[in-house]
Every structure is written in structure tokens, then in C-alpha cells.
């Protein structure tokens, strides 16, 4: 089969790529932040003294990790209107990706919690700190340092997962790729362009994470 690879054929469509990349980045960054918050709550629940709370935390993690993100997105966007919740494409995608990523985030944060010695909890309590103060000032800073490197993996996973948002009509990079490919019949070129955009977006987030790590931590090991 002779196929002439000409990126020139996609040039007229590149204008639409900028807002698409912005949308991918927006959804990804927001989903990372939201999933970290939900993940932290679930991770703490999994370490609770109460069995029921531990169960709910574990159940959340298993349900989210054992359902494909695409199915979660379909439930949030197409099925939730049946019970009266009508979300826009953007909100549905953000919610679906955040809920899914929180399952993985919870496990990463839980690993960090386990690494904090028992004595730290006891010392904080002995100082008369409330539970919130203990987590805020003593536990989470240590957790954060332990999990900073594995978080990088998860950040990239979220950016790549955002490509499924096109299934619920979000006009992000994958949507641009499919639409432009279908309109120009130049799928090969649009696939390559989209792949480059994803590499650039992932590396942008990754370099930002490394830079923040340099500002936050003194030990070089924790920075990466």
C-alpha cells in the first residue's frame, strides 16, 4: 500500500488543536487535584479504627479500580440523567476521571501513610494536637515526601485517561484527532500529531512536578 504522509493536510485544522489541548490540560489538572483530595480521604478511611469505615474505603478503591474508566464515564454522563442528575460533558468527564483516579490515588497515599512511623501519630497526640492538626502539620507532609515520585506516574495516567472524555462529547485532543481524521481522511497524520501533543502535555506536567519538588524538598531523592 502506498500512502503519502503529508502533515500539510492537517495544517488547516491546527487552529482547533489549541483549545483542544487547553481543554485536555484543564481537565487533567483539575482531575489530579480533585482525585488527590478524594484519595487522601479514602486513604485515611482505610486506616480507620472503625471496621465499617475501613470497609467503605476499601470498597471504593476496589470498585473504582475494577471498572473501566469508559464505563464510569458512560454511567456518569448517559445513565445519571435517569435519576435526575444532568451533567454537561465537561462536568461529567471531570467527575468520572476524578472518581476513577481517586481509587489509585488512595492506594498511593495509603502506602505513604503506612511509611509514617506509629510514634509520629503518638507524638502529635501527646502534643495535644487535634486530628486535623496532626494530619495537616505532622503526617501529610511526611506522606507527601514519600509518595512524590509515584505520584508522577499517576499524574501521567490521568492525562492519558482524559483521552476517553471524547466519548462523552468533550472536545479535547482525542476528539480533535478523531474529528479531523474523519473530515480530512488523514488519520495517520492526525494520530501522529495527537501523540506529539500528549507527549508535550505529559512532559509539561512532569517538569512542573519536578520543579515544585525542588522547591519543596531538601533531599534530592524525594524531589523526583
Partner 1 sequence: MQQTKGLWMKAALAGAALMLSVGGAAAQQNGSILQQVLTRGTVRIAVLGSLPPFAQMTPSGTPEGYDIDIANMLAAALKVKAELIVTDIPTRVTGLQTHKFDLTIADFTRNVERSTTIAFTDPYLVTSMKALVPIDSPAKTITDLNDPKIRVAIDRGGTDEIAVPPMLPLAQLVRFNAEADELASLLNGQTDIMAEDTLYNHRQIHDHPGKLRELDGAFAQAEIAIGLPAGDFDWYRVINLWVHQFNATGKNAVLFKKWFGFDLPPIQAHY
Q: Residues in the site for partner 1, rule: CB under 8 A?
A: 1, 77-78, 81, 86-89, 166-167, 169, 171, 175, 178-179, 181-183, 185, 187
- Smallest separation, CB 92 to partner 1 (Å): 9
Grid cell listed for 102: 481517586
Looking at residue 76, what DSSP letter applies? I
Closest CA to 107 of 150, 162, 68: 150
Closest to partner 1 by CB, 41 vs 87, is 87
- Smallest separation, CB 94 to partner 1 (Å): 15
HSE toward the beta carbon, residue 72, CA cutoff 13 A = 23
| CA dihedral sign of residues 200, 224, 163, 1 | positive
Closest to partner 1 by CB, 1 vs 215, is 1
Three-class SS of residue 50?
Answer: coil
Residues 152, 104 contacting (CB under 8 angstroms)? no
How many C-beta neighbours within 10 Å does residue 7 have? 13
Residues 129, 204 contacting (CB under 8 angstroms)? no
Closest to partner 1 by CB, 140 vs 178, is 178
Closest to partner 1 by CB, 142 vs 179, is 179
- Smallest separation, CB 176 to partner 1 (Å): 10
- Smallest separation, CB 78 to partner 1 (Å): 5
- Smallest separation, CB 196 to partner 1 (Å): 20
Closest to partner 1 by CB, 152 vs 171, is 171
Amino acid at each position: 500500500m502506498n500512502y503519502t504522509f503529508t502533515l500539510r493536510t492537517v495544517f488547516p485544522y491546527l487552529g482547533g488543536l489549541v483549545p483542544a489541548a487547553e481543554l485536555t490540560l484543564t481537565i487533567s489538572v483539575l482531575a489530579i487535584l480533585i482525585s488527590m483530595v478524594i484519595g487522601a480521604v479514602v486513604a485515611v478511611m482505610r486506616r480507620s479504627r472503625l471496621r465499617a469505615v475501613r470497609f467503605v474505603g476499601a470498597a471504593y478503591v476496589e470498585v473504582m479500580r475494577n471498572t473501566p474508566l469508559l464505563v464510569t464515564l458512560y454511567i456518569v454522563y448517559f445513565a445519571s440523567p435517569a435519576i435526575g442528575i444532568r451533567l454537561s460533558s465537561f462536568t461529567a468527564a471531570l467527575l468520572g476521571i476524578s472518581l476513577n483516579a481517586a481509587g489509585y490515588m488512595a492506594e498511593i497515599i495509603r502506602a505513604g501513610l503506612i511509611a509514617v512511623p506509629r510514634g509520629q501519630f503518638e507524638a502529635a497526640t501527646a502534643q495535644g494536637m487535634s486530628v486535623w492538626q496532626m494530619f495537616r502539620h505532622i503526617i501529610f507532609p511526611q506522606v507527601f515526601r514519600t509518595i512524590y515520585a509515584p505520584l508522577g506516574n499517576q499524574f501521567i495516567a490521568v492525562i492519558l485517561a482524559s483521552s476517553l472524555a471524547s466519548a462523552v462529547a468533550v472536545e479535547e485532543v482525542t476528539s480533535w484527532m478523531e474529528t479531523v481524521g474523519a473530515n480530512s481522511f488523514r488519520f495517520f497524520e492526525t494520530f501522529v500529531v495527537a501523540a506529539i501533543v500528549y507527549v508535550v502535555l505529559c512532559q509539561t506536567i512532569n517538569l512542573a512536578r519536578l520543579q515544585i519538588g525542588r522547591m519543596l524538598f531538601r533531599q534530592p531523592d524525594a524531589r523526583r
